[in-house]
Amino acid sequence: MGYQQAYQRSIEQPEQFWAEQAEHIAWFKKPQTILSNDDNHVPRWFADGEMNSCYLALDYHIEQGRGEQAALIYDSPVTQTQQTYTYLQLRDKVALLAGAMQQQGISKGDRVLIYLPMVAEAAIAMLACARIGAIHSVVFGGFAAKEVASRIDDATPSMILTASCGIEVGRIIDYKSIIDQAIEQAEHKITQVVVLQRPQQPCTLIEGRDIDWQAFTDAASPVDCITVMATDPLYILYTSGTTGKPKGVVRDNGGHAVAMKYSMQAIYDVHPGDVYWAASDVGWVVGHSYIVYAPLFAGCTTVLYEGKPVGTPDAGAFWRVIEQHKVKIMFTAPTAFRAVRKQDPEATFYQQYDTSSLKALYLAGERTDSSTYYWLKELLQKPVIDHWWQTETGWAIVANMIGLEVLETKAGSSTKPVTGFNVQVLDVNGSSVEANTVGEIVVKQPLPPGCFPTVWNNAERYHQTYMAPYPGFYLTGDGGYIDEDGYVFIMGRTDDVINVAGHRFSTGELEELIAGHDAVAEAAVVGIHCDLKGQIPLALVVIKDGIEADSAVSDSIVTLVRNNVGAVASLRQVLLVQRLPKTRSGKILRKTLRQIADGEQFNIPSTIDDPTILEEIKRVYIDQDVIS
């Protein structure tokens, strides 16, 4: 079936379409109900199906005779270690950890917070939770203690799995003390912390609370997979919204498994035995979906890479991994290749490696700039596929589904809607717009399997943020247009979310934090263009009367953000100004501020209370007067 036919069917007969796809996973009890509504009137997939995601990822393949095949390759240039786990070996590790957790009282529905660097134990921990029906919540290692604390309070986990340290280029990150601080800051009490001691920097364990990972599993017996319902949560993954409180995106088991398995064949065209590499981090949705679950559901070999595109040790690192592990499909964020290209514009490293195993490169996480796209396309002479998706959906909304049919691409477009996603563009009144007209991108309900059914502990927020603005549709938060041939063009967020090196941050959250600084009267944060990271935050800050506006203040604001959100927020520019430009009703003119910072033409909005302030900001910004 070609793309158009499959797409049409998925939209016109969604139940039949997904019932067929559900045949491809090994249920404990096949679902009879394909699509139904839950108590919150949210459409749910496969409600009476019974299964286990860890079984599908590991045990099932062993039963199929793939036990000796490599399931996971841990490749860590920062520790100069490599280790391959077969399906059997991975299953045994997972079953043992699951047994240890169960022995400590963790059971179905309990939350387990995972704060680990890119080590095999991160995937093992996730799968161990799935095995016993515990709900994992992985927090990206780059987040500081306050962010971890807010997730502890929202998810109220019964246990934390962490490591003594993580390794960044040239420095060691003390994970354990971040966890200690987070536990201290959180209101919810944590009584069990399992710590992976890494030789690069072991840590001290707190008696009565901390448990050494090795001892924990040594004392345990392996356990089997329990049965869960398709609609039981598999994980919670926090993402930035427009407020300071992160949103816990919930993923269920059944819909997720069906969507992941289907996507591997239809979008990525990979099959059992193929090597699949998503160069991301398990702390992001890309890591959940395409480092851990989808490649294992599909019987592939997944690569878990603890390194960077550059600096570990050089800009040839990606090519080396492709050659060494015979990677067929690679997936990363455009920013990673911008970093490679910046250091090696002539691609001299590329020439040193045999990358013939690579069939296609997939990009997502942010808009792919055309310069990087063409550089890669020319270099690789292979499909370079931009696809658009979000934490909320868990898989691509728009892509070139090469497993169905290879479509012509258009520069700037991530191609066409993925099967099951009825993508439309609406104007502010909720009416459909003509082709090529920019508007809010929405997806008509029901969303396909795999997409989030709720926000953890907050069904109301799910409804208010995503479903209420345009009844019958899911609001993606991205703006863009669809052309006359049905190609979708994503233009960027229409809310206060910014995208830094493929990572999502809330300007509202950064503002709240900076506004809490002793010297600060008021602050605004906008995302401005960065050649490497796509966007970076710029803070405009009004200092309280009587406090000297000098670089010491700017520096302390930068430190505040690093210590509370994390270095990954990449806030380095703080502009001290007399006033913030606002409308007469008090709204900060963010778009205009961004245009000034990016050197774009801007119109002075008619609603501004004092137009002279924009010129003043422009002068201060361009003179770089007080930028830290």
- Chain positions contacting ligand COA, by CB under 6 A: 141-142, 166, 168, 173, 280-281, 284, 286, 308-310, 333, 335-336, 339, 365, 501-502, 532, 567-568, 570
Cα separation of 445 and 15, whole Å?
A: 13
Asked if 235 is part of the footprint of ligand AMP (rule: CB under 6 A), the reply reads no
Which entry of ligand AMP, ligand COA, none binds 308, CB below 5 to 8 A by partner kind? ligand COA
Residue 592 contact among ligand COA, ligand AMP, none, beta carbon within 5 to 8 Å by kind: none
Residues 6+ apart with CB under 8 A from 534: 334, 335, 366, 367, 369, 499, 500, 501, 502
Among ligand AMP, ligand COA, none, what does residue 499 contact (CB within 5–8 Å per kind)? ligand AMP
Q: Which is nearer to ligand AMP, 77 or 283 (CB)?
A: 283
Given the complex with ligand COA, which of 142 and 477 has the nearer CB atom? Answer: 142
- The one-character DSSP state at 281 is -
Given 245, 288, 325, 387, the residue binding ligand AMP (CB under 6 A): 387
* DSSP letters spanning 509-523: HHHHHHHTSTTEEEE
- Residue 102 or 476: the one with the smaller Cβ distance to ligand AMP is 476
SS percent in the chain: helix, strand, coil, step 5:
30, 25, 45
Stretch that binds ligand AMP, among 93-101, 133-141, 312-320, 359-367 (CB under 6 A): 359-367
* Binding of ligand AMP by 388 (CB under 6 A): yes
Say if CB 340 and CB 304 are below 8 A apart. Answer: no
Contact present, 527 and 498 (Cβ < 8 Å):
yes
Site string for ligand AMP, 275-294 (x = CB under 6 A): ----------x---------
- Is the CB of 338 or the CB of 367 nearer to ligand AMP? 367
Our CB check for ligand AMP shows the closer of 504 and 517 to be: 504
Phi, psi for residue 451 in degrees, rounded to 5: -80, 160
Q: Least distance to ligand AMP from the beta carbon of 239, Å?
A: 5
The residue (of 129 and 333) whose beta carbon lies closer to ligand COA is 333
Binding ligand AMP by CB under 6 A: which of 75, 269, 386, 496? Answer: 386
Q: Please choose which of ligand COA, ligand AMP, none residue 336 contacts, taking the beta carbon within 5 to 8 angstroms, the exact cut-off set by kind.
A: ligand COA
Q: Report the partner that residue 387 touches, choosing among ligand COA, ligand AMP, none (CB closer than 5 to 8 A by kind).
A: ligand AMP
With residue 441 as reference, give the H or E element that holds it.
strand 439-444
Q: Binding partner of residue 66 among ligand COA, ligand AMP, none, CB under 5 to 8 Å per kind?
A: none
Chain centroid to Cα 149, Å, comes to: 19
Site for ligand AMP in 5-24 (CB under 6 A): none
Torsion (CA) 548, 554, 560, 563 in degrees, nearest 10 = -140
| Backbone phi, psi, residue 289, to 5° | -75, -45
Window contacting ligand AMP (CB under 6 A); options: 290-298, 365-373, 557-565, 592-600: 365-373
Cβ-in-10-Å burial (0-12, 13-18, 19+) of 494 comes to middle
CA distance 404 to 406: 7
Q: Which residues contact 15 (CB under 8 A, 6 or more apart)?
A: 34, 35
Sorted by sequence, the CB contacts under 8 Å of residue 371 that are 6+ apart come out as none
Structure tokens at 268: 């990525």
Residues 414-473 that bind ligand AMP (CB under 6 A): 414
Cβ 502 to ligand AMP shortest distance, Å? 7
Give the residue among 342, 276, 354, 348 at the shortest CA–CA distance from 308.
342
Nearest in space to 251 (alpha carbons), one of 234, 238, 269: 234
Please report how close the Cβ of residue 619 comes to ligand AMP at its closest, in angstroms: 32
Q: Which is nearer to ligand AMP, 180 or 478 (CB)?
A: 478
Does position 475 interact with ligand AMP (CB under 6 A)? The reply is no
State which residue, 488 or 568, has the beta carbon closest to ligand COA: 568
Shortest Cβ 572–ligand COA spacing (Å): 8
Place of tokens 């991530």: 414
Size of the site for ligand AMP (CB under 6 A): 19
Query: Binding partner of residue 385 among ligand COA, ligand AMP, none, CB under 5 to 8 Å per kind?
Result: none
Residue with tokens 């010491």: 552
- Distance in angstroms between the alpha carbons of the first and the last residue of the chain: 57
Give which of ligand COA, ligand AMP, none residue 168 binds (C-beta under 5 to 8 Å, depending on kind). ligand COA
Helix (H) / strand (E) containing 555:
helix 551-564
CB environment 546-556: b (16+ within 10 A), e (fewer): eeebeeebbee
In the list ligand COA, ligand AMP, none, the entry touching 142 (Cβ below 5 to 8 angstroms by class) is ligand COA
For ligand AMP, the binding residues in 478-497 under the rule CB under 6 A are 478, 490, 493
State which of residues 231, 390, 400, 465 lies at the interface with ligand AMP (CB under 6 A): 390
- Angstrom distance (rounded) from CA 598 to CA 575: 14
Residue environment code for 351-369, b if the CB has 16+ CB neighbours within 10 A, otherwise e: eeeebebbbbbbbbbbbbe
User: Nearer to ligand COA by C-beta: 148 or 229?
Assistant: 148
What tokens does 353 get? 């490696």
- Comparing CB distances to ligand COA, the nearer of 54 and 125 is 125
Choose the one of ligand COA, ligand AMP, none that binds residue 493, judging by a C-beta under 5 to 8 angstroms depending on kind.
Answer: ligand AMP
Instruction: Determine which residue in the list 192, 391, 419, 535 makes contact with ligand AMP, applying CB under 6 A.
Output: 391
User: Could you tell me which of 411, 594, 608 has the C-alpha nearest to residue 493?
Assistant: 594
256 is in the binding site of which of ligand COA, ligand AMP, none (Cβ under 5 to 8 A by kind)?
Answer: none
Q: Which is closer to ligand COA, CB of 163 or CB of 266?
A: 163
Least distance in Å: CB of 363 to ligand AMP? Answer: 7
CA distance 286 to 288: 6
| Interface with ligand AMP (CB under 6 A) | 239, 285, 364-367, 386-391, 414, 477-478, 490, 493, 499, 504
